Amino acid sequence: MDLSNKVAIVTGSARGIGQAIALKLAEVGAAVVVNDLGEPEPLESVAAEIRAMNRQSLAVIADVSSPADVTRLVETATNTYGRVDILVNNAGITRDQLVLRMSDEDWDTVLNVDLKSAFLCTRAVMRHMLKQRWGRIISIASIVGEIGNPGQANYASAKAGIIGFTRSVAKEVASRGITANAIAPALSTPR
C-alpha cells in the first residue's frame, strides 16, 4: 500500500492503538496529523517519530468532542497540507460503573468523546472528501459495542453507535469515492 501524497488525521493518537495507526500510516507514506487532548509531550513525541521516518507530521492538541476544536483541527490540516484524505476516529475513553451507580456526567462524557467526536470529525472532513471525490473514514469501535459488558453501558452504547453511524455514513458517501468502515477490536488477554 502506498499512501504517498495522502493526508491523514488520527484522533487519540498520543498512545495505544491511535499511536500505532499513526505510525503505520506514516510508514506507508502519508502525512499524518496526530491529535489528542492533554499534555503536548506525548503527542509531540509521536509527531517527531513520524518526522524521523522522513514523513510530514503535525501535532494538534484538540478536544474532538468540541465543535470549535474539531473545526480548528481540520482547518489546521487543510491549511498546512491542502487536503484531508483519511480520517481515523480513534479518540475514546472509559468511565466504568454499573448503570445503577453511573453518573450523568460519566454517561455524557463517554458518549461525547467516543461517539459525538466521530460525528463531528466525519462531518468536518466530509466536504473536503466530497470535493476530492475520494476519502477513507475509519472509526474504531469495540466488540463491547456488539456484545455488551457489565459496568460499561456508556462505552458499549457509544461503540454500538459508532457501528450504526459508520454504516449510515458509508451509504451516504459510497457513490462519491469515499469509504467508511468500523473496526471492532476485542480485549486482548494475556497468554
Tens digits of residue pLDDT in 40-93 = 999 999 999 999 999 999 999 999 999 999 999 999 999 999 999 999 999 999
**Catalytically annotated residue among 155, 159, 165, 173:** 155
Is 81 annotated in the active site?
no
Residue 190 pLDDT > 60: no
pLDDT-based confidence at 187, cuts 50/70/90? Answer: confident
Q: Does residue 120 contact residue 64 with C-beta atoms inside 8 Å?
A: yes
At residue 30, the pLDDT reads 98
Among residues 13, 81, 10, which one has the least CA distance to residue 46?
13
Residue recorded with cell 463491547: 144
Among residues 81, 79, 113, which one has the least CA distance to residue 94?
113
pTM summary value = 0.96
